[in-house]
Amino acid sequence: MSTFVLVHGAFRGGWAWRRVRPRLIAAGHDVYAPTLDGDAAGLATWVDQVVRLLESEDLLDVVLVGHSQGGVVVREVALRVPGRLRRMVYLDAAVPDPGERAVDVAPAPPDDALLPPRDTLIPPRPLSAGGDLDEATTAWLNERLVPTPFAPSLDRASTDEPTVPASYVFFADTPAAYPSETTRARLDARGTPYDVLDGGHDGPLTRPDVVADLLLRSAAPRLVVGAPIHPATPTRGTP
């Protein structure tokens, strides 16, 4: 049995893993999907929250997964408690370089003079159906999207690199302007291997079979990074 800790991205909550969790549990694994504090005063608030979960539940040999902005969080968690982790999975994630802020993981460098104040709550933009995101799932998502605090995006990542083994996974249809695409371009430049799954950015809801399969492979003793992934038919209908 393995233990998975699934960290969601901006504007979402632990509910974003609703279709993945039962697949991992059915395979005999333990799964935690915390909802990050919506009033976080900084990145440390989220990192502390996940670290507390790992410590209070005495979780060991964990596969720690960060989707989208969750990638910023799990990077720091891996530096804090590496002994509790088996592997990290960056899932279509923003992954800052040492000393970078989340806002720096963008297609173009941000103009700090134009950034909103630190205490800003960024409202979510309603999603539109398209690609593998069907009408029912879109409506379900839009009912649950919440504002996300801006402060964590202004805090710099640690200057150290995590030593926990990491896998990188991206979705083929994620828009080019998303921070995860900046991460992907950097990996290309560095020759770092990664997997690509069919589907859009909300793959944990639209491609749960594929995501669960990838995570189960990540929990295997010998993960073959960059091995081909066989896409599954997206799940349709209300979660």
Mean pLDDT of the chain: 92
Helix H or strand E encompassing 232:
none
Distance of CA 8 to the CA centre of its chain: 5
Residue 192 lies in a domain: yes
Among residues 2, 68, 180, 218, the one annotated as catalytic is 68
Asked whether residue 162 is domain-assigned, the answer is yes
Q: Strands 85-91 and 148-149: what pairing?
A: unpaired
pLDDT at 157 over 70: yes
Tokens read off for 180: 């995860």
The answer to the question of residue 236 being in a domain is: no
pLDDT, tens digit (0-9, with 9 covering 90-100), for 88-124: 999 999 999 999 999 999 888 899 999 999 999 999 9
| pLDDT for the residue 1 | 85
pLDDT in tens, 192-230: 999 999 999 999 999 999 999 999 998 886 444 444 433
pTM score, two decimals? 0.92
Residue 173 domain boundaries: 3-219
Single-letter residue type at 86: R
167 is catalytic: no
Half-sphere exposure of 57 (CA within 13 A, CB side): 19
CATH of residue 101: 3.40.50.1820
In a domain, 224, yes or no: no
The answer as to whether 155 is a domain residue is: yes
225 part of a folded domain: no
- 110 in any annotated domain: yes
Residue 234 lies in a domain: no
Q: Domain count for the chain, please give it.
A: 1
